[in-house]
Amino acid sequence: MPWWGWLGGACAAGYVTGTFLLIPEIGAAVTVGLTVTGQQLTSALIDHRGMFKLPTRVLTAPRLTGLGLLLAGSLAIQLV
């Protein structure tokens, strides 16, 4: 297994801990919204850079627009 294969366990532990700490403070909807947005932003960066031996996928205008809408949605959920 490559060195980065172990990052999944550390990320999962951090996510579960963070989720249990955040839900009482900011609510379930915001926590889930931020989780999805973070996953999409991270995966777009991984695609754009071609990390982890994956093919490179350029960030096009439609993809950037979608990421921007996710960020706006997360902010809207949090501010309401």
pLDDT digits (tens, 9 = 90+) for 49-60: 999 889 999 999
> Cα 60 to the chain's mean position, in Å?
18
The whole-number pLDDT of residue 49 equals 94
Q: How far apart are CA 16 and CA 20, in angstroms?
A: 6
- Statement: residue 34 has pLDDT above 80: yes
d(CA 69, CA 6): 32
pLDDT at 7 over 80: yes
- The answer, yes or no, to whether residue 45 has pLDDT greater than 90, is yes
Counted residue by residue, the chain has a size of 80
What are the tokens at 63?
């993809």
CB atoms < 10 A from the CB of 78, how many? 14
pLDDT value for 80: 67
Q: What's the pTM?
A: 0.73
